Amino acid sequence: MKLQFFKYQGTGNDFVILDNREGSFPKSDTQLVAKLCDRRFGIGADGLILLENDETTDFKMVYYNADGEEGSMCGNGGRCLVAFAHYLGIVDKETTFNAVDGLHYAEVEGDMVNLKMVDVDQVHEKPAYSFLDTGSPHHVQLVKDLGHFDVQKEGKKLRYGLYGKTGSNINFVEQEDEETFQVRTYERGVEDETFSCGTGVTAVALAMHTAGKTKANQVHIHTLGGDLAISFEQRAGGYTNIFLKGPAIQVYKGEIEC
């Protein structure tokens, strides 16, 4: 089987994207997905995304983690898929699409994609960290000297030790100023640190606002792969009108024999 694929990245969070509107991709073949995402024996990516037809919106997003299993929502992946839909001519400057966590709206401005995330009803604050779900589960923890922090070791420890088999994504955060934070993320499904995580930086922005670390309703996040902006409105017990904005770039396209 020969597959045409597209490689996209959003602040270093990279994805194999396939146009599956004809439904030809073998979606139950987890080994194939894992192989395509493998950085030595495949294309190499943090995840694989299928663009599919949807009855009520412009398209449907189906996301797989690099381990081959279907995953929860991926914010940077969603932004990259919007850029891909724009490239295909499916959408122009605005779109709505369906994903595993529900309906999403997005805007395209050149290479920038502004994606509306799901509402967050609650941020669980613990003495040393916060936990919330922004389409995917996220642990948010402030640390010192983030640049030298062992994200792989400490992220793996928390991902399995605190959250068990189901797991959670683990975000380590250092504050720069009132509106700016540095973030490094250990992602479940990838089981490693990634250059960026869209649902993760969204979780960080909301957790830092809940904790009183910022009063701003727009927060800037520095990741290893680049900068993202998160805007939101606070409501009783949670947050609404949450937007994740950043670049979404096509790296290359090609064909691969499977």
The verdict on whether residue 13 carries a ligand-binding annotation is yes
Establish whether domains 2-116+248-257 and 124-245 are of one fold: yes
80 part of the active site = no
**CATH class held by domain 124-245:** alpha beta
CB atoms within 10 A of CB 79: 29
Helices (H) and strands (E) in the chain, counts: 4, 17
**Coil, strand or helix at 224:** coil
User: What's the distance, Cα to Cα, between the start and end of the chain in Å?
Assistant: 5
Question: What does the pLDDT look like over 189-247, one tens digit per residue?
Answer: 999 999 999 999 999 999 999 999 999 999 999 999 999 999 999 998 899 999 999 99
Distance of CA 145 to the CA centre of its chain: 24
17 pLDDT band, cuts 50/70/90, is very high
74 part of the active site = yes
What average pLDDT does the segment 34-52 reach? 98
In this prediction the pTM is: 0.97
**CATH class held by domain 2-116+248-257:** alpha beta
The verdict on whether residue 76 carries a ligand-binding annotation is yes
DSSP 29: -
Question: Would you kindly state where each structural domain of the chain is located, as residue ranges?
Answer: 2-116+248-257, 124-245
Tokens of 40: 């030595």
Tokens of 120: 């967050």
What is 124-139 written as a DSSP string?
EE-SS-EEEESSSEEE
Question: What does the pLDDT look like over 160-176, one tens digit per residue?
Answer: 999 998 899 999 999 99
Question: What does the pLDDT look like over 113-163, one tens digit per residue?
Answer: 999 999 999 999 999 999 999 999 999 999 999 999 999 999 999 999 999
Contact yes or no for 83/8 (Cβ under 8 A): yes
The verdict on whether residue 10 carries a ligand-binding annotation is no
Kindly name the residue from 37, 74, 80, 258 that is annotated as catalytic: 74
Kindly name the residue from 37, 80, 197, 258 that is annotated as catalytic: 197
**Coil, strand or helix at 196:** coil
The verdict on whether residue 161 carries a ligand-binding annotation is no
Tokens of 156: 């793996």
